[in-house]
Amino acid sequence: METKLLLTVAATALLLACGGGGGGGGGYSGLPISGAPPSPEPNPNSNPNPSPNPSPAPDPAPNPAPTPITANYKFLTFEQNVDIGNDPPEKRFNDYVALLNREGALGYRYIAGSPGGNNVSLQDSFMMVKDSETTYSYEYKTFELDIMRTDGLARLLQQMKEQGAQGKVLVQFLPQMTLTPPPNLNPVFGILYRKDEGSSATYDFDAFMFPNAMADLVNGANARGANGFRPWATPSMLTQGKAQFFIKDLSSSARYELKAVVSPLSLVGGETPHVKAQIREQGALGYRLVTERFMTAPDGTRPSYIFYVKDLTQSSTFEYEFLENPDPVFGLQAANAAQANGQTANGLRYLALPDAPVFFRSLNCAGPLCVSPTLLETSE
């Protein structure tokens, strides 16, 4: 019993580690847009003198007449502690979702946050956006983790499929709500779902265990992309590893391609301007930025890869802008929402990285790749 309790405490810290609580900046992707570049993982078989990057092209001149977009970003906070002895464990979760539903009724969509807490508290600092003429509803489902079993990721996938059949998509992993009664003492977590009340779309989900090799991830993703699935989340669970989850809109004919390109920072002479240049080049080819990961290359080295996704049924292109941190405080702040609102006149939407904000402009584009993504899509 004592061993299981210790493992349960560890599981509480590690469960569903893909965008909910932790990472300082709220679990945001590790794209090295600013700051010191990460060093590539050493490998004895690697070439000690890889080809240097060419000098990056200067930042492109801004579009002289960008088309404004209609979008409004909003920063909110929630914090509540349980009144032990009087409040049921679910009260703080119910009140949190009630706040989201008030905003959802006004058309706001949850896109980024960093929920945290424990058995007696819940807090989140998050950003929402209203960018379409619809309304949203939110609800949470509970998820019990038994660290003595190995079916947690499979059960999560099944829950997502059941909710997807009702038009609901997973948008955030919430912290622990309570423990099951003795003798099990399993942690019970919240899983946040969202439904677009103006759409009749339903969704399917798929998943596979996250591989070490870049080629295995890309090939597995593209086999599913050919059937309309795009990358969605990468949850991990203690004793079970990490999985790549995918989402499919059953009302859409979209087909997706995932692409991995070695980060310039994994090459000799690579600098942040080279990263920005690469992202812009891929955008011109129709690829929207996703995230960055160290993975095993075909030659056995472990460079950093930048991942992109493309809807193969469209001729979309993407333009990117890289702005300065609007607030000296680390992590998502009200200043990020204010900055995002200021960029809508330039046709730009917030993508990710509150401390080195990345914005994008979509051209000839329709569908989910054209709007600010949910944090799960861009988190490692």
DSSP 374: P
State residue 42's pLDDT score.
45
Taking the C-alpha atoms of residue 224 and residue 206, their distance in angstroms, rounded to an integer, is 8
* pLDDT band per the 50, 70, 90 thresholds, residue 65: confident
Per DSSP bridges, beta strands 187-196 and 136-144 are antiparallel
SS3 call for 235: coil
Beta-carbon-side half-sphere exposure of residue 85 (alpha carbons within 13 Å): 0
The residues with which 362 forms a beta bridge, in sequence order, are: 318
pTM above 0.85, yes or no: yes
* pLDDT band per the 50, 70, 90 thresholds, residue 61: low
Q: Average pLDDT in the 317-327 region?
A: 96
State residue 119's pLDDT score.
86
Peptide bond into 183 cis (omega under 30): yes
Residue 47 makes CB contacts below 8 A (sequence gap 6+) with none
State residue 223's pLDDT score.
98
pLDDT tens profile 77-96: 999 999 988 999 999 999 99
Taking the C-alpha atoms of residue 81 and residue 66, their distance in angstroms, rounded to an integer, is 46
Contact 123, 96 (CB under 8 A): no
Q: Among residues of the chain, what percentage have pLDDT more than 90?
A: 77
Place of tokens 């464990």: 89
The residues with which 261 forms a beta bridge, in sequence order, are: 306
